[in-house]
Chains A and B, each alone.
Chain A
């Protein structure tokens, strides 16, 4: 039987009796007695537990990534190098990020500060901190209740992309990736990380009740909030085929195990609507672990990737021992948190097709707080307009409006064949009430959801008048950028 094996602050750790659903945070505090890493919420919403993990990005290059240790189950760091705030000082000398925080009064009570420091460490070593919006995006996963953030913002501006020659730079250049493969049992709990599909199918044959996991940003909440102990988890993190992220047939293949940070980077150059959705999808720490497949397979009505991908005409690629099958992504969502996946089958990838000539497309996410929040309403729109200004096709997909992400078919019908004008959009909008009966909850009332759903289409029309797929401004006032 395999042991849990990882490096903690450059020391090799091997464990064989711990529950595989023990979180890294609890391990650090309760077992390793490293008390610098704090628990602020145990759900990835505050960042106080942020650590840095040295791993490989989507292109196989070594990177240091800020991750919420409260949502990381121990087997998820198998073979990886984990660094906590205690690793920052070298020979008793504070790290640059620590100096900047202390000198700039970036801490008051100090409880969020270790997590802030580790998010800054990632910023230090990132090579792509070339645009101001990335500073905010880097730090929005770290809540601070004391400072009002101005000094934290100044801290990230001063260290972003600095590339210091510290122990982490050395580790980044010297560390060879180790296998994540794992077959681990402790008590009644098991955790498998197969390294090949053959192994995966064998595990599934033996354990049809197995649950898949990759990043764990959703599933781990069952452990940290509901205190359950899932008996059998199968991680898909070590299957390179699920990591594909590349142009294909004029469109894109997005592997199910692609991290959203990598997808955001990819979409920046290739797919503006997807990039817009990912900007406010979640915190950096979450995007560093959350995956395409995880977001789609949890099949939440407010999963943010679904509307934009549906609007772009994406197809789900499903894989099992029997082979591959494909379906339109909107058909993948069967009902509230239910997908079309069969037992023994997994989502391997999403294929985004080439976009037709004349397409205008954008995506929106509206939530109470711009960053680090869950949608009240989200939307992905693509309208294809011909040279004469007639709508050839409309794909208007919404999240948060019903039990599953879905298209506004009545509105689409009302638009197709009509001139793409403000009058026709206004005339079509009332039909949205036939498509959806949204509910009232703590994120917004039914009235608000219905009103915003319509307004997003109004905004989409205005925004795409001059450019078919405009980018977000650095610090725009609202999800919809129209004056």
Chain B
């Protein structure tokens, strides 16, 4: 296998593209100089905005009286729904989510009032003095309860192909059952934060920790009854997002805006960890019932599944998340006869929201559960069973929604990874180990991933950039994407420096701001580099073409030769005569004197995508990203604890823009998936109150949970057509590689049971879930 991160350098050696590099803010992170919203210098007079949240899962708000709170010195205002000048709504797609409760509360943690005071302690004291009278109403506290009450937030969405009923009726091996996947808290290390400052004419400037500044701008404008031109939203950087700051940063920014306008003082709203975990939505839990039919040799002949997600109390992005779950029900496998139906249930929990993978992991989990049960029943190696079901050449290469699976790299990835991970040898060794080990068993799992890249709401696939060159040749780059740690700015800076042929330290990536690049989409759906990269490239190309004739004049090259001028290493030169060059700064200075504009916008929209939701047919994705993992675990039958011994990943990011950044996304995504599937357990009490509202009780992976051996490689020589410099998206797909942990755990658990026993392992696979599965396996009659 080639060395994993040494990408062949086919371009000019001075280009930062396709070469490993540190994170653009790495040293600032490590020195504490990197600023997040809560670190920005507060303007004089800044007030603290404190949210009074509902203590009930469902209740009528009968009476509210804040007179005693307002009387407290240092308290500037206590605001309720009636104090909102514009529309009391913060729903991103469907207008079903009041910013402050009106008459009724629908979950614990829903915002009821906003206290504005000179300190957090004063806010708390004021909040204690606000009199709120509730009449508690019955609440829906599980998907099953919601289904029983016929409480839904969407109509069913069905995708169907072939004749699943007939296929199931004749399949030699039938499996039916149900599975649940749980919620997951984003646990970004930086909690939700916003700072709002009132400017002239009622305009607002807002610093927000958000993945979607344009939506924050739009929602603030609606809530305040302003035009969007009167609201500027700026994002310095985020201390993690993972989807949790796509829609759900907006309410806190809007409350800060409301407070700033009402008190005419700057207002900061910052949630502490417990508030953040209680008040914000999580990854959607899914409950699925399925029927599947296999041939004796492990082909999945027919599949019917009904997926119900827990949307929480309002829509948020639940429908799109459900759609993506349905789109990924196939994962890497050709399903000739299939019907998948999905619906969003309404419950009395915080509204669930985007989270890395956006429904993809939940959909994929279902088919992987089906395949695992099939492999166990048939006594087949689950990796081989998966390979047999892979998408193949045309015509069996169309998804269940009829998008061709073009550029399918899974057969290649599968072959390379099986060899490099020595899967077959290790599986045999593990079986030997298990035969001689009484209390401890090992397991190995294989997980391929195919993930569709694009927003499935097609119009969102657009991006803009604004590149500014100063006369001294230094560059400011603005683009519509936000930096949440994923390294987007590092990549965009590399693209810009490459196009202009300057070194990266001559390019400064500016804070994302709605007054620089308007009408942007969220930095989400793994699309940040794909979309913004093309926009940055377009802006820089425009500028380079403007500079070309200037440089030609300075170099006194023939007019016909101007087209061939190279921009590299901070110089402009004719490649045939590299010894004669002019510096980029000389060219820009000359351009300035020649009255040439040195700023330009760039714009990009993804071509050729569309989806007909009614028919369940179309091409929602620009392309597919691929990857695969082999995972080895060990479990204890005494405590149910497990350890991941080794992980091998081979992942397809096309020709990586910055391989070191992509490796970080692959590793981080995998470990986050590992958390979702093992120890991250979101639990509520019988009144709908979150029990796991801090890291004391909610356990994301710690350093000791990561694989002892973690071998990650990027697929080499894999340029993707029609993308930014041949690269592919990476943010979400690796998350789902972690499902291989489940397959490995099942292998280990099955070692306690007679052959061909189906394992019953709940998700997340906590020590208790594993111990229960082991006890059930042991109890299987031989």
Interface residues of A (CB under 8 A from B): 34-43, 45-46, 48, 84-86, 88-89, 94, 97-98, 101-103, 105-114, 116-117, 136, 139-140, 142-153, 225, 227, 366, 368-374, 376, 441-445, 448, 451-452, 455-456, 458-459, 462, 475-480, 482-483
Contacts and interface: CB of A to CB of B under 8 A. Distances in A.
Interface in B637-677: 637-643, 645, 660-661, 663-664, 667-672
User: Which interface residue of B186, B272, B702 has the most chain A CB atoms within 10 A?
Assistant: B702
Interface residues of B, number: 88
Nearest to A483: B437
User: Which interface residue of B38, B186, B272 has the most chain A CB atoms within 10 A?
Assistant: B272
B316 interface: no
B670 A101 contact: no
Contacts of A117: 30-32
A479 B436 CA distance: 20
A114 B639 CA distance: 35
Given A110-B237, A113-B29, A143-B189, A370 B664 contact: no
Label chain A's interface by main secondary structure. loop
Given A477-B636, A478-B636, A109 B32 contact: no
B695 A46 contact: yes
B768 A41 contact: no
A478 B643 contact: yes
Contacts of A113: 29-30, 34
A477 B641 contact: yes
Q: Nearest 4 pairs between A and B by C-beta?
A: A36-B32, A109-B485, A110-B29, A111-B239
Given A142-B703, A145-B189, A369-B702, A114 B636 contact: no
10 contacts: A41-B273, A107-B23, A111-B188, A145-B668, A149-B706, A227-B124, A448-B767, A477-B645, A478-B635, A482-B638
Contacts, number: 277
Given A147-B667, A479-B639, 11 more contacts: A40-B273, A43-B694, A105-B22, A106-B30, A139-B703, A146-B485, A149-B671, A151-B664, A442-B691, A452-B638, A478-B635
A35 B39 contact: yes
A88 B121 contact: no
Contacts of B121: 227
Contact of B771 (A35, A88, A452): A452
Interface string B753-782: 000000000000011100110010000000
B470 interface: no
Contacts of B272: 39, 42
Interface of B: 22-23, 25-36, 38-39, 121, 124, 186-191, 237-242, 272-274, 436-440, 484-487, 634-643, 645, 660-661, 663-664, 667-672, 679, 681, 683, 691-692, 694-697, 699-706, 708, 710, 766-768, 771-772, 775
B747 to A, nearest CB: 15
A448 to B, nearest CB: 4
B30 A114 contact: yes
A66 B124 CA distance: 31
A48 B29 CA distance: 12
A439 to B, nearest CB: 13
Contacts of A34: 32
Nearest to A37: B32
A149 B23 CA distance: 15
A402 to B, nearest CB: 19
A102 B699 contact: no
A85 B32 contact: yes
Nearest to B41: A33
Contacts of B703: 136, 139-140, 142, 144, 149, 152-153, 371
A455 B696 CA distance: 25
A143 B30 contact: no
Contact of B767 (A109, A145, A366): A366
A99 to B, nearest CB: 8
B767 A108 contact: no
Contacts of A151: 664
Contacts of B436: 483
A38 B638 contact: no
Contacts of B766: 368
Contact of A45 (B634, B694, B772): B694
Nearest to A111: B239
Contact of B643 (A35, A442, A477): A477
Contacts of A105: 22-23, 26, 660-661, 663-664
Given A112-B189, A458-B638, A370 B704 contact: yes
B284 to A, nearest CB: 19
Contacts of B671: 147-149
Contact of B702 (A48, A150, A227, A372): A372
A86 B700 CA distance: 28
Contacts of A455: 637-639
A416 to B, nearest CB: 24
B240 A145 contact: yes
Contacts of A374: 696
Contacts of A445: 768
